[in-house]
Amino acid sequence: MKLCIVGAGSTRLPLMMASLVRPGGPVENVSLFDIRPRRMEALFPVGLELCRHIGTPPRFNISSSVEEAVEGCDALIVTIRPGFEEQRARDERVCLDMGVIGQETVGPAGFAFATRTIPAVAVLFNVARRLSPGFMPIIFSNPAGMVTRAMLDLGFENAVGICDSANVAATKVAARAGIDPTVVEFEVSGLNHLSWTRRVMSPDGADLLPAALADEAFVRDVLGWLEPRPEGIRDFPVEYLYYYMYPGRALDAMKAEPLSRGEALATANAELFDALRGAGVADSITAYARYLAGRNGSYMSYASVRHAAGIDGASPLDYLAGQAGGYADVAMDLLDATHGGPARVMALNVRNGSSIPELSPDDVVETDCRIERGCINPRGHEPMPATQARMVDDIARYERLAVSSVLTSMRGESGPARAIALDALTAHPLISNRDLAGRILEELSIRF
């Protein structure tokens, strides 16, 4: 099969390429495209060398146009960031300066991101539908849940959103029990960046989660941000729940940082590409490994999220091989399962149907799906605990309004789109104030 990756100038490119190195995997040919070709070309040699370090890579081709990249593709991964890191930094700073959490998928910064990303992804998918009828749209671009909902609403019926955070719990809990994570069954319930893992079942049918959550050392290691720890915790929360469970503490911690996450990444990315300019392959690999170690080590550091060890004594290629995975691995697992591989369970962003009873069938949820014979089937769940259900319902209402605002704007109805956008931000539990929502909407770089 042919896979297309648009947004291949992302700093994730080498790791995405490495995830494609799978003996017997379905991907034979990969086309890469980015509107910043120099960034893609700078990272490509690092990715190719990493692939060769791991195994035999598929055929890669750097495309000079979107049309060339998507023509004849069986699947399309979109990982674009309209406005780039610099716009993310501006969005987050506007929010923080106005006393609201600034994070690229949470609250108004996430809404601003959606207003730019959804129209751009729609244009791309329309080109792909014309040149590659039946292609599978795979959405990496954040906010993944809202982008996926918009694409489904626009008629891309097989669109699916990817997020690696929802699969972390099952992987960690299985590893604690000494079990291969690929053989456990698990249950995830919620929305993108707002979900809980409720069960992790071993092949013999035992639920591994209660023992893991009763292990104080395990909880400190993998849920260091969960402090104070809720009494009687029974579910494993995704780390983005930090912003909703401890909003005051999160805002204070983020404001105390000298740079927002977006500002820090914009600076680090500029330094990386400066270092790659004119460098040989070996020096480029070293520069990229150091960049990635720094980026990973600073992720949600203000929330006490713990990270794997840095490079230490490992060679740069060995370190990078150990970092391959994440979003890209989830996408490759999905492609394996939908293109002739064995059935498997994965957490994905899909249309709800009857999976999560608290939410509308049209909502896009983050949930465990069984994938077999090319079909993605969300599995049914028991009702959520009341506290979780209220939180999910609040954010789902915000997301419905936010996506409606963007789609209304895309139809050229700027006045109604702005009014719905104001309703959306007012509905968000991290804002919940119409005057503040209006001021934020004026300050953010949003076009209606």
Look at 8-22, 224-238, 376-390, 426-440 and tell me which has the smallest mean pLDDT.
224-238
Backbone phi, then psi, for 295, in 5-degree steps?
Answer: -65, -50
Q: Which of 329, 268, 308, 265 is nearest to 104 (CA)?
A: 265
Q: Whose structure tokens read 């939180």?
A: 391
User: pLDDT confidence of 327, banded at 50, 70, 90?
Assistant: low
Residue 313 has pLDDT above 80, yes or no: no
Burial level of 187, CB count in 10 A (0-12/13-18/19+)?
buried
Rounded CA-CA distance 150/159 in Å is 10
Question: What are the tens digits of pLDDT across the range 98-149?
Answer: 999 988 888 899 999 999 999 999 999 999 999 999 999 999 999 999 999 9
pLDDT (mean) for 414-438: 96
pLDDT given for residue 326 in this prediction: 67
Question: What are the tens digits of pLDDT across the range 227-245?
Answer: 887 777 899 999 999 999 9
Rounded CA-CA distance 17/288 in Å is 14
Q: What is the CATH number of domain 166-239+338-378?
A: 3.90.110.10
pLDDT given for residue 165 in this prediction: 87
Residue 325 has pLDDT above 80, yes or no: no
Residue 372, strand partner residues = 375
Rounded CA-CA distance 221/307 in Å is 9
Question: What are the tens digits of pLDDT across the range 176-224?
Answer: 999 998 899 999 999 999 999 999 999 999 999 999 999 999 999 999 8
φ/ψ bin of 417: left (φ > 0), alpha (ψ from -120 to 50), beta (otherwise)? alpha
Residue 362 has pLDDT above 90, yes or no: yes
φ/ψ bin of 353: left (φ > 0), alpha (ψ from -120 to 50), beta (otherwise)? left
> What length does the chain have?
448
Domain(s) labelled CATH 3.90.110.10 in the chain stretch across 166-239+338-378
DSSP for 286-344, written as a single string: HHHHHHHHHHHHHTTGGGT------STTS-HHHHHHHH--THHHHHHHHHHHHTTS--E
pLDDT given for residue 311 in this prediction: 78
User: pLDDT confidence of 55, banded at 50, 70, 90?
Assistant: very high
Per-chain mean pLDDT for the chain: 93
pTM over 0.85: yes
Query: Which amino acid is it at 190?
Result: G
Rounded CA-CA distance 3/17 in Å is 11
pLDDT given for residue 340 in this prediction: 85
Intra-chain end-to-end CA distance of the chain, in Å:
39
Residue 442 has pLDDT above 70, yes or no: yes
**Count of other CB atoms within 10 angstroms of residue 203:** 10
pLDDT (mean) for 331-339: 89
Residue 344, strand partner residues = 371
pLDDT (mean) for 282-305: 88
pLDDT given for residue 308 in this prediction: 59
% residues pLDDT > 70 (the chain): 98
pLDDT given for residue 432 in this prediction: 85
User: pLDDT confidence of 306, banded at 50, 70, 90?
Assistant: low
pLDDT given for residue 374 in this prediction: 84
